Each structure stands twice: as C-alpha cells, then as structure tokens.
Amino acid sequence: MSANVPADKKEAARQAAALRDKLNYHSHRYYVLDAPEIADAEFDALMRRLQAIEASYPELVAPDSPTQRVGGAPAEGFGRVAHPTPLFSLANALSFDELQAFDARVKSGLGTDKVEYVVELKIDGLAVNLVYEDGKLVRAATRGDGQYGEDVTANVRTIRAVPLVLHGDYPRSIEVRGEIYLPRREFERINKSREAAEEPLFANPRNAAAGSLRQLDSRVTAERALDIFVYGVGVREGAELATHAGTLAYLASLGFKTNPHYRVFATIEEVAAYCESWADKRADLAYDIDGLVIKVNSLADQAALGFTAKDPRWAIAFKFPAEQAVTVVEDIIVSVGRTGVLTPTAILKPVRLAGSTVSRATLHNEDSIRDKDVRIGDTVVVHKAGEIIPEVVAVLAERRTGAEREFALPAECPECGSAVVRQPGEAAHKCTNPFCPAILREGLFHFVSRDAMDIDGLGPAVITSLLAAGLVKDAADLYSLTKEQVLPLERIGEKSAQNLIEAIDKSRQAGLARLLFALGIRFVGVKAAGILARRFGDIDRIAAATAEELTAIEEIGPKIAGSVVTWFAVPANLALIDKFRRAGVKLTEERVETAGPRPFAGKTFVLTGTLTALTRSEATARIEALGGKVAGSVSKKTDYVVAGEEAGSKLDKARALNVAVLDEAAFGELLSSAPDVV
C-alpha cells in the first residue's frame, strides 16, 4: 500500500470523497468554463492520489469518480452532438519506469516481445473531431465528455488549416481527430489587444484557443489565427490503413496539417530517449506542447489491445515534469501602464525555469498579493503560465524567518508623484495624472504596435531614447521627426534611421480604424475600432456622435459608447487629433456610409465560400455601409446568402430553408444597383 494511502478504510473513503469533489470542481472549471484555478501539475497530483486510494481499495471506486470519466460535460450555448466513435483521453506516464511498465503491458497483451511505436508531440490545445462526408466538412465538435461534444462547425470553418474540401483519393466518410491550438505569437497579440481594451487577459495559449473556438460569433473566431494538427481517425469508409504512421501520411495526402516531428521506434528505450530530447527543445517551437504521445504503430495490434473504461491500452502520454521552481522574492516593484494602472512585479533571485533564467514574475494586483500573502523576502514557487509568463504560484510560509516585509501599493505614482486611486468595484489602482510620463511612454508603445499604426523599427528602446532626448511629447510628434534628429540616438545607424522615417511616413495612410485603436481609448479594441471607422467614416463624425448614436450601432455597447464620448470631450485629445491632421495622418476610412438611402436596411447577409472580386472584409463593409448586416450562420431570418467558390454547408442550409442565394455576379449587380458608397 502506498505511503499516501490511509491504512484505515473509513479514512480512505473520506479522503476519496473529498478528492472526487475537488477534482470534479476543477474539471468543470477547466473543461466547461475555460477558467482553471490550478496548474496542470496540481490537478495531476490530486488525480494520482485518488487513483492510488482506489487501487488500494477497489470497492471505493464509484461510477462517477473522475478516474472513470473522460473529459468534461459540454458547455451551454452550442448544440450537443454525439461522436460517431468515442474520444478517449490518455493515461499519463511521468517517468521512464512508467513507460517501461506501459511497454510491458502492451507486449503481454499482444503475446510478443517486439512492438513498434510511433511518438508524436502532444500539442497543448483543444481536441476536436472533424466529420467529412463525400470529401466535405459537415461537422466539427469539441471532445466534451468523450461521447458528446459541442457543435463548433461554424467556428472551425474559419481556421485556414482545416480543409473544407479534401484532396486526393478521399473516402466516402471519415472522422478525423486533431488538436486546435494558438501559436505563441498570436497569443501575445491577442493579449495585447485585450489589454488595450481593458479586457481580462488569457492565462495561456491553450485557454485562449478554447475561448476563441467557443465564441458564439464565428467572426470573432475568424479574427484569431487558430491552427490545427490532426493526428488520427475514427470511423472511415473506403480507407484501408495498416499503421498509425501510414495514417498520418494518408491524412497529409488528404490536405490535413500533420505535425512533422513524429518518429517510429522499435524499442521503448528509443522512445524514452526521444521524449527526453524534447524537454529543452520544446522552447524553440512556435506553439506549446505539454509532453509526447506514444502509440502502438500497428492498427491491428491497437484493435487487439482495445480500451479500458477510460483510455486506450495501446497509447500513453509522456508528460514533462511540472515547470516550477523555488526562489526568493528579493523585492516588489511597481510599473505604470498606458492607462495609468499600477502593476506590482516580484523581483526574484534568478532561477532557471522552462529553458530560460527568470528574475521577475507578475503579481497582477494588490488583491492577488494579499490572497497569496506574498511578502518581500518570501520563498516562493514560480511557474511559467502557458510556458510564457512567469508567475508566483504559492508562498512557502514554513520557510519564513520573521525578516519578511509586507507590501502595499503606493499612495503616490512612482513615476510622477501624483495621487493613486482605486475605483469602487475595480481591482486596479490608477495614477490620476493623465500626463504621467509612464502613461505617455506605454501609450507610444501601443501606438506603434502591429495592430495599431504598425511602425517597424520603433521599439521600446528607440521610443525611450526619443522621450529622453525630448524629441517626442505625444504620438503626433512622431510625424515631425527627421532623419537628422534620430541619427544621434543610440544604436541608430544611417540605414536604420532612413528606414524608421520611411516607416513613420508610411503609417500616415494606415487609416481611421488603426488610428482609433492606436489612440488607446478605453474599451475600444481592434474590432470596435473597425466598426466605428466603417460606420462613421471620419474622425470628426465620431467625435460629434452622442452616446445614443453610438449604442444604436450593433456591437457597440454602453461601455464603449460612454468611453468614446468621454475621450472626445477632453480638449487635449481634440488638440491631439488636430495635430495628427496637420501632420497629414489619414483620419478617414475608405468605405464610408452615406447619409442617403440605405437599401439594405433590415437585410441580413451571410457570406460563404471564396470571393474573388472582393475580399470578405470588403464585401462586409459594402453591405454594412448600405445598412445591411452580415451574420455568421444561416437561419430563417437570413435574406441573402452570397456564395463564392467552394461554398459549403451554409449554401446547403440556405437551399433547405429557401433562402435567396446570390453568386458573385448577382451580388455585384445588387451592389451596383444600390447608391454609391463614397
């Protein structure tokens, strides 16, 4: 009996019940709400403890135990669909000994001492099941509880790596399994955008992928660069496959994206060496992995081994050790963001973590510090949230010496000395000085970022140098810079100075949508900026708009409207806009709604397939400028479906509902018959 298993059966039953409750709670937070409260390593430790108790006391195993369950229940808001074949989770191995035990079980089950294995990277994302009929994608669903998942077909269709029509010699019907994920770079971009709009940040790329895939509006999903690797098949008709490696090659031939790092090995020792080799290499990938998956290569052997109640006997996941480290909080400093929010950061005794040396970790806000009781001098456990952001997980209070010091956010801004306030109902403390140098500096970082004015060469170091030299006092000053002014700056050469001035000049034509986002108006993210720019057409119309006019626009709520009205009511902000105007910065958008007739008013359009004459965004803008609305799915309320090349299920649904279908030529005629949009 394990040392962690109580010798008394009554106590074991009590602990098992408590563990089941805790695991069910955290499983719900993770799978249903996409809002986990604990790290994977902590969840795995709880699960292994319950497994140990149930292994020692089999009579305590309950049908509803988390150890007997696959995944979590589907969340409300999407249709519930049954998977053609169940989607099983995998058992975990955390050591070479456990891999050897798996190998022994496989060989015993097959009655042989020679087994070939395929090893693949375990992508840290969201499992999805794709069903194709006659070569066309007809349904996509999340794993859910393994038997039933959520219908996310409309959202999966927006992922470019998912083929809508299969290539080559495809079967009549095939069920394909894959993992949808968010590349690290896109995760960082989305979080920067959410921070600019003062929305909660995603904790890691996996949760960002889950949140993106489970948007009720598929247009939001389309704005995020989700990706996918497929790794297996379920039901198939007309495809004869012999090995898992052959299956991966076959899937690639059909047009699917498969991960290139899979390998075939003849021994479990080779498997273990390959797994170990990825412990450090994974940091070089553009996406997150949380281990590797080992599968018996022969599909006939897989069928012979079969399944337990919860996982396949022919596969196992080798998980990397928890990416955590113990260090000391040497100090806590405070930085001021572009909205004036004060953010505490722990200065750590440098420690090696996830392939890099970590010397700082976010503490989020004062409430978080108090909840975790973090003090200067504390010994703490840190990890990298989503393999990226260092974060304090817990305090090792038993190591305190009495010399530790409690921390509180300052009453005065550390940058300018102005008063700091905390608004009722908010966790953030803010500097009250709108001209705080930190707000200017961080605001400039945002202004030049990729989703804003996208000025290459204007990184934090250059901006800091410009401010120190007194060359820039606001964002509009960037447009009066000359090559001669920037040449003396540190690390600026002749060519880089010329490129910088050219990049700044090019950004003058970025357009109203980018400028609105770049201004950093509270709650106005990339999407809201685009809606406002297309609807009003120039910045003066937006400045003159009332809250009532703004909230009359679909997707512009009271918070955004109130923030926009407040921003344009500040004389200094209007002066900044005038300064942009004098600098030649474009304050209009190409597609502007006229004040005249709105022939598409009350009409709902759905776009499907590939359009050639106009891009999808251009077609959307033309429809909206004429008073129409573009929806993501077809219903009885849809007036027109515009079908381009390779139109899929939306076209089929339109025909079934007798919705009017326009090809590109007919759509072009409809647009040309409407009043001009200037």
CATH number at residue 59: 1.10.287.610
Catalytic residue chosen out of the listed positions 107, 122, 372, 495 = 122
Q: Is residue 164 part of a domain?
A: yes
User: Is residue 105 within 8 Å of residue 155, measured between CB atoms?
Assistant: no
**pLDDT tens, 175-227?**
999 999 999 889 888 888 877 776 777 767 887 888 888 777 777 787 888 99
Q: Is residue 408 part of a domain?
A: yes
**pLDDT tens, 578-626?**
999 999 999 998 654 444 557 888 888 988 887 777 766 667 777 877 7
Burial bucket for residue 574 (CB in 10 Å: 0-12, 13-18, 19+): middle
Q: Is residue 233 part of a domain?
A: yes
β-pairing, 263-265 with 117-123? antiparallel
Global pTM?
0.49
User: Is residue 136 within 8 Å of residue 78, measured between CB atoms?
Assistant: no
User: Is residue 224 within 8 Å of residue 217, measured between CB atoms?
Assistant: no
State yes or no: pLDDT of 39 exceeds 80: no
- Please give the Cα distance from 15 to 17 (Å, whole number): 5
Confidence of residue 672 (pLDDT cuts 50, 70, 90): confident
- Tell me which of 483, 507, 531 is where a domain ends: 507
* 203 and 283 belong to one structural domain: yes
- Tell me which of 475, 507, 539 is where a domain ends: 507
- Domain range for residue 648? 604-673
More confident residue, 675 or 90: 90
Q: Is residue 427 part of a domain?
A: no
pLDDT of residue 196: 76
Q: Is residue 591 part of a domain?
A: no
Q: Is residue 589 part of a domain?
A: no
User: Is residue 354 within 8 Å of residue 303, measured between CB atoms?
Assistant: no
Strands (E), 247-378: 263-265, 289-296, 315-319, 324-336, 342-353, 356-362
Q: Is residue 106 part of a domain?
A: yes
pLDDT of residue 2: 58
To which residue do tokens 């953030």 refer?
428
pLDDT of residue 72: 40
Instruction: Report the length, in residues, of the chain.
Output: 678
More confident residue, 333 or 146: 333
* 516 and 615 belong to one structural domain: no
* 105 and 235 belong to one structural domain: yes
* 15 and 86 belong to one structural domain: no
* 194 and 225 belong to one structural domain: yes
Which CATH number belongs to the domain containing residue 542 in this structure?
Answer: 1.10.150.20
* 103 and 221 belong to one structural domain: yes
Confidence of residue 304 (pLDDT cuts 50, 70, 90): very high
Ranges 2-11, 394-403, 533-542, 553-562: which has the least confidence:
2-11
Residue type, 28: H
Which CATH number belongs to the domain containing residue 655 in this structure?
Answer: 3.40.50.10190
State yes or no: pLDDT of 77 exceeds 80: no
State yes or no: pLDDT of 676 exceeds 50: no
Q: How far is CA 487 from CA 376, 461, 467, 506, in A?
A: 43, 14, 15, 19
**pLDDT tens, 320-352?**
876 788 999 999 999 999 889 999 999 999 998
pLDDT of residue 243: 95
* 501 and 635 belong to one structural domain: no
* 17 and 40 belong to one structural domain: yes
**pLDDT tens, 2-37?**
557 888 888 888 898 888 888 867 765 764 455 778
Which CATH number belongs to the domain containing residue 361 in this structure?
Answer: 2.40.50.140
Q: Is residue 203 part of a domain?
A: yes
State yes or no: pLDDT of 664 exceeds 80: yes
Of 259, 247, 90, 81, the residue nearest 174 (C-alpha): 247
Residue type, 276: E
State yes or no: pLDDT of 63 exceeds 60: no
* 625 and 524 belong to one structural domain: no
Beta-carbon contacts of 407 under 8 Å, excluding residues fewer than 6 positions away, are 332, 344, 369, 374, 375, 376
Confidence of residue 157 (pLDDT cuts 50, 70, 90): confident
Beta-carbon contacts of 278 under 8 Å, excluding residues fewer than 6 positions away, are 121, 289, 292, 320
* 304 and 231 belong to one structural domain: yes
pLDDT of residue 674: 65
Sign, CA dihedral 267-269-274-278, equals positive
* 171 and 278 belong to one structural domain: yes
Strands (E), 101-172: 117-123, 126-133, 136-142, 148-150
Helix H or strand E segment including 229: strand 227-237
β-pairing, 379-385 with 389-395? antiparallel
- Tell me which of 507, 536, 556 is where a domain ends: 507
The overall average pLDDT reported for the chain is 86
* 364 and 397 belong to one structural domain: yes
Terminal C-alpha separation, the chain: 79
Total domains in the fold of the chain: 6
**pLDDT tens, 403-449?**
999 999 999 999 999 999 997 878 889 999 988 999 999 999 999 99
Catalytic residue status for 122: yes
